[in-house]
A = this chain, B = another copy of it.
Amino acid sequence: MFELLFEKFDEKIQLTDEEKQVCKSFFIPKKLRKKQYLLQEGDVCKYGAFVEKGFLRCYTTDDKGNEHMLQFAFEGWWMADQYSFLTSTPSRYNIDAMEDCELLLITRDAEENMMQTVPKLERYFRVLLQNSLIATIKRLESSLNDTAEEKYNRLLKNCPTVAERVPQHMLASAIGITPETLSRIRKQMSLRKSTS
């Protein structure tokens, strides 16, 4: 269950086998069925979730009941409403399972204790936050400046399998366009591919 997490740790820091065993004790392994919630709007996001298997989505629901995708998290990614998680305030988001999932959950206190116990992890989480900050700034700027096609290409670049695993209307929502516009963009892109 911890294979992928330790693989990710190994990319950034060097932990001994003993330290890895200590780390394990701070996580709560959790299986989610497809469509099951990890977080519901109005609740505090108590866990950071590392995805070992399956994938999650994060979205809001408007007054008319329409869902607006915010992001997806595939194998090897972390998912949380970071603002709610870090500040212990109620979340405006829902997080649920798009497929049957195997997750490793960690509370804010456990994360803090784990870093106190294994200080090397400060570096892992520092780099993680750095990437998260870059992605958030990029998303903010992209939402203001990029065309729909640029947004779609960025999504594909971040996760090449996203187009096969996520329904088209959710993909469209994630980049803030209608399913019809997305369909048109995909057609144009495949036309350009076949003629180039």
Say yes or no: B137 contacts A83, CB within 8 Å.
Answer: yes
Interface size class of A (residues with CB under 8 A): 20 to 34
User: A125-151 toward B: CB 8 Å interface, digit per residue (1/0)?
Assistant: 110011011101111110000000000
A-side interface mostly: helix
Query: In this complex, what residue of B is CB-closest to A119?
Result: B119
Tell me the complex Cα distance, A136–B83, Å. 10
Tell me the complex Cα distance, A150–B56, Å. 33
- Tell me if A67 is interfacial: C-beta within 8 Å of chain B: no
Say yes or no: B133 contacts A129, CB within 8 Å.
Answer: yes
Residues of chain A from 71 to 87 with CB closer than 8 A to chain B in the complex: 82-83, 86-87
Query: In this complex, what residue of B is CB-closest to A83?
Result: B137
- Chain B residues in 8 Å Cβ range of A136: 133, 136-137, 140
Shortest CB–CB separation between residue A191 and chain B, in angstroms?
Answer: 31
Shortest CB–CB separation between residue A84 and chain B, in angstroms?
Answer: 10
Tell me the complex Cα distance, A6–B137, Å. 28
Residues of chain A from 101 to 130 with CB closer than 8 A to chain B in the complex: 115, 119-120, 122-123, 125-126, 129-130
- Chain B residues in 8 Å Cβ range of A134: 82-83, 86-87
Tell me the complex Cα distance, A91–B121, Å. 31
Q: Return the contact of A129 from the options B87, B129, B139 (Cβ within 8 A).
A: B129
Shortest CB–CB separation between residue A189 and chain B, in angstroms?
Answer: 25
- Chain B residues in 8 Å Cβ range of A86: 130, 133-134
A119-B120, A119-B122 given; 8 more Cβ-contact pairs under 8 Å:
A82-B134, A82-B137, A83-B138, A86-B130, A86-B134, A122-B126, A133-B136, A140-B140
Instruction: Report A's interface with B, CB cutoff 8 A.
Output: 82-83, 86-87, 115, 119-120, 122-123, 125-126, 129-130, 132-134, 136-141
